[in-house]
A and B are shown apart, each in its own frame.
Chain A
Amino acid sequence: MGNQHMRHYRAHRPAPQPAREKPKASLSRRAIRYMGGFLLLMALFTLLSRAADGLTIPQVALAYPSKGTIDRTMTGFGKVEELSAQAVTTEPGLRVAGIGVKPGAVVEQGAPLFTLDAADLEDKLAQAREMLQRLDMDLQDRASRESLSAQDQARALQRANEDYAAAKSSGDKEVERAAKTLNEAKAKLNAAAPPAGELSALEAACAQTAEKLRLAEEELTRLQNELEEKVAQARKEAEEAQEDPDQREAQVREEYQPRLDEAGLQADAARQEKASADNALAAYTEASTQLQLLRDSVDAAQQNYDRAVESRENALRSASRQVEDAQRPQAQDSSGKKAELDREHQAQQVARLEALVKDGGVVRAPCSGTVTGVSLTVGMPTPDGTALLLAGEANGGVFTAQFPVELEKYLSPGDEAVIKLGSGRPPIEGLRLETVTVSPTDSGLLDVTVRPPEGVLAIGTAAELEVRRKSEEYPCRVPLSALHEDNGVYFLLVTQEKAGLLGTELTASRRDVTVLEKNETMAAIQQGDLDWGQGFLAASAKPVNTGDRIRLEVP
């Protein structure tokens, strides 16, 4: 029955429809889908990039400067040493007669340590006394010499002053005399001197008269020549006219005679005038000769005066130099003081030797303690230095620890210190540093000593010394972990806002600071290096450099 239904169904079932094909999306639709996908991808990468950025940006904590001290705790290791090791000395060069102690022996104060040879001691004492006496005599001689020298100097000064006064007096007199003579010669000269211009007037007169005479003689000569010419001409004319030439000549001569006479008279007058002028000039010249003599005498007087002045100056100069020489201070001579010091030293040596002699040559212990070293040999002279070492008490002593020399500026006497013993023993507190010195054996270490209470630590006990030092209070301290260094310059990282593409960003900015003091954890910086209320980057999970973007931790 079922199979019939199935056959009937299969025969009459409708034919299956062919599958419809999906229409292919156009390029524009695909582009729109791709655009949507692109925007989704960009959104996804936006989130991823912000997440990555958030992971890479270091998250930092901001801190602020605090007020406080820069405490420093320094530790060094050391041990307890004997409190005092006193050196026992005596005069060097004294023969040792006997040694009463050995190293390690415990002695009381005043106990005999060693004995010196008495005879040798006496001999050394005598020598010392003789030396002292010599020094005394030397001192006396020196004093005497100094006294005489002073007297001589005073006398020389006095004489120099006297010579100076005498030279001045004598010189003044000579100068005064020469001045007087000069003045007299000048007076005579002034009295005899002719008026100014007289010579020139006389010479002018002579010249004038000479000229006049010359002119007169020339005129006369001219007239004579003219006369002769006229005469000759007249004679000639007369001869030509067959007249008497002599008569004609006589006429001419008679005509010219008055003129000749006049010219002759003028010539004679001029000649007389000239003679008078010459006589006056001659008289003047003679007077000038006398005047010259007066001038010469004035010159001579002047020279005498100058010589007198120069002579006085020379004498005074010489005398003043002698006075200066006499006043010159003597060079400092400290040999007297040295001699006194030598004498004093010698006196002390004599006293020491006398004390030894008085005690029978026995050297005793200056304090109680233990003999730690003996530098003596029986029969040999005592050394120049330590003869015997005497240590202090058996217990107590001083604790000496060593520190690096770089800590010298932080360690000073009076600083608080604690000795830590370890092994469960309680530390010794309340101590103060006694000395801080550079170790004599190693210049890179410091020897720091403290004195522990007596009876607490045995000699040789090793322990650790902890020194605590409080500094002054600083207004501005920062953790050392926040401090960075670059080429010797310290700086802090502070926040700086910067406008970026993602908005206001915080970046790490460098701020140079001056470090005043620091210890292992804190550093004090100069006030003012940071602005008021400004924080700095204290801690970060990742390293932060200048310019890096940062995020602040939310407290």
Chain B
Amino acid sequence: MKYNYFPGCSLEKNAAAYDVSTKAIADPFGLELVEIEDWNCCGATEYISLNLLASYALVARNLAQASKNKDLTQTIAPCSACYLNLRKTDKYMYESSDLNQKVNTALAAGGLSYKPGTQKVRHLLDVVVNDIGFEKIAEKVTKPLTGLRIAPYYGCMIVRPELSISKDSLSFDDPEHPTTLDELLKVLGAEVVDYPLKANCCGGHMTQINDVTAFELLHRLIKGAADYQADLIVTLCPMCQFNLDAFQGPMNRHFGTKFSMPVLYFTQMIGLALGMDAKKLGIGDELIDARPVLAKIGVQVPIPESAKKRPDKEALPMPSPLKNSENISKIKEEIGQ
């Protein structure tokens, strides 16, 4: 399976661990990632709020570069913001012939052009879950993450609704209650916490603009995970990882709390479950050290008393949980898929 690969600026530096771990797990699953030639920054969230046309053109340049290789029609973006920008630009160019014309005029100045709809942009999680599939992943798991309580954190950008060009491909998971990462972590053998804040915003660039607001949001997320006795948070967006990790200390100081919740990437977890060396997956680079928590892997950890669900004889029975897949298929039914 061959794809265009758009790492994005963060994967070059701050989120190098994400890049390293992605490439590490690509091999065993036969994912061939062809980095887009001479790609440029996608503008993240800043540029698009300053100058729409210029930012679309900036993003479209990447799509144009990606389309140079006629065999590769799909582009993988591991970073949620890059993913969103690439998808949005493609969609708006498709829908507005006016925008399409203007952007292509700009691209022409550099000898490039892009026909909207040519590149199918996908998030790395989407490719792992749908193209590789849970079965193949389960087969390769040699060191299941048994005993590790993980809070899956999606961030707010990955499953924005209505990113599709046609009705056939809406966002690949439910916008309010996504479950693909939960399922993936379960397949890796971890105990997945039913984290209610999994799609809540981490504040994005608020950490640089207004740290007090950002701290409040980060506090809610980390406290929420800690309240559910999660050992660590696993995420899929470099911005989220950066905020939750690097700003955990300042947040602690601001609130006078002592949280120590490591934040890792899902690709690193896949690598660990496949038995790969932690250092090769970029673990150890994070500011809140994940190693003490990871010491639990392979060791049967007794589940903390408070988290145990002891059937209380006097308690009334709970209704049975609706299967996640039922929910997705019901949603799909409702939207006429």
A pairs with B = no
Residues of B within 8 A of A (CB): none
Residues of A within 8 A of B (CB): none
